[in-house]
Homo-oligomer: A and B are copies of this chain.
Amino acid sequence: MMRPTRNGAQLITNTQGSAPGTGPQPADFTDVRATNLAVVLRFVRENAPCSRADIAASTGLNKATVSSLVADLIDRRLLRETGLTENRVGRPATMLVLDGSPYAAVGIEVNVDYLTAVAVDLKGEALLSWRRAFPGGSASSGQAVAGIAGVARRVVTRMTKEARQVLGLTVAVPGLVDLNGSVRLAPNMGWRDVDLAGDLAKALRDPGFPVLADNDANLGALAELRFGPHGGVRDLVYLTGEIGVGAGIVLDGRLRRGGAGFSGEIGHIEIVPGGPPCHCGRRGCLEVVAGLGALLDRTVPGGVSPAELEPEIDEVVQRAEAGDPVVLDLLDTLAGNLGRGVGIVANLLNPEVVVLGGYYVKLAPWILARAEREMLGRSLAPAGGGCRLVVSGLGYGAAALGAAARVLDSVDSGRLPAPA
């Protein structure tokens, strides 16, 4: 019998952020139930299709308990029985899968020039993926919120038409977002102190599901954790590669936002003292020596316009492919500077993986190796403390996907929809 060891002391802890200073909350039976429901749900997510017996064997829960938990989850329409049975000796098992049809999790990513909306089902499979131009940089924050609300409403009605209940909506923003979902500073958007989560909830008039906002890098990290090929990784850092550079930090399996929610601002760490000026007022920030703005400023005549970012990057890629020495040299320098930033992360946080996202993905063939060398050479721990530098496979919508993942995470953490 391969009963898994339960390693001693466990504590019941708040999964959602609790008020600071509040001690750990006591536990009662409903917490046990919620915990075990979440355990079963996550197990099925990772091992579907599987039988009740599989769950009992792997989690260590009693068979009877598993049956009860599964019945509860089926009541809540989170799981579904498939008629399928395995073809082995003994009584055939009724297999369980996540029920993909009744629910949707919605994520929206806003940026200077575009807006991405995605909806996924419980399994994480895409139900909808929109990308449209969005004057985030030029509109007032009020107009922007109205625009986001409009898109959100259309997504919700679409989901409702498909008979899906929306479990939640999260918005990803490139900027400082506090723990209440209020945008405190988004330089590229020109926002300051915009209560995005609150205003959006108001604009949606009691939507019946939680509305959250978070930093795009944080949500990118969540997307990698859930949808990326990083099985079992609990310490991961995601780097956005847009005009700005931000980091999403996952340690011990959860996003770490810092005291005010402003962690991950790697873009304004000084990498080259006395280097080129940054719009933040300082010099030599990672963003200006390893961000895309700097690269394009020097390769594209006439400077960068956010709306033209995509074709401009493509031009850089083409010139790199053609062997243009100027571009190759610029990319190599960028890679070196990026590697120095990654080295700082590796030394300070010792993650298992650092994932490069955004436009870094397209540039990876020319920057990944150099940046990784640089990181390894700067890490005190041998072999970088086991840190790998990899490229995201999620494409541009990573933050939007992560915003949807944020909703699924809260379900996985025990916020289950009520039974029918």
Contact = CB atoms under 8 A, between A and B. Distances in A.
A176 to B, nearest CB: 6
A410 B7 CA distance: 13
Contacts of A29: 32
Contacts of A14: 7, 10
B381 A184 contact: yes
A43 B22 CA distance: 11
26 contacts: A4-B22, A7-B16, A9-B15, A9-B415, A10-B14, A10-B34, A10-B414, A11-B38, A11-B413, A12-B12, A20-B234, A21-B232, A23-B46, A23-B59, A26-B36, A233-B259, A247-B348, A249-B348, A251-B251, A256-B256, A262-B350, A262-B381, A265-B348, A269-B378, A282-B378, A348-B349
B35 A23 contact: no
SS of A interface (majority): loop
Interface string A347-377: 1111110000000000000000000000001
Contact of A10 (B27, B185, B262): B27
B26 A60 contact: yes
Most chain B CB inside 10 Å of its own CB: which residue of A22, A26, A377: A26
Nearest to A23: B42
Interface in A210-267: 231-235, 247, 249, 251-252, 254, 256-267
B27 A16 contact: no
Contacts of A7: 14, 16, 18-19, 25
A312 interface: no
Nearest to A232: B21
A343 B415 CA distance: 37
Interface residues of A, number: 92
Contacts of A6: 25-26
A252 B299 CA distance: 43
Interface of A: 4, 6-16, 18-29, 31-32, 34-36, 38-39, 42-43, 46, 59-61, 176, 184-185, 231-235, 247, 249, 251-252, 254, 256-270, 272-273, 280, 282, 340, 343-345, 347-352, 377-382, 385-387, 410, 413-415
A268 B10 contact: no
B9 A34 contact: yes
Nearest to A274: B273
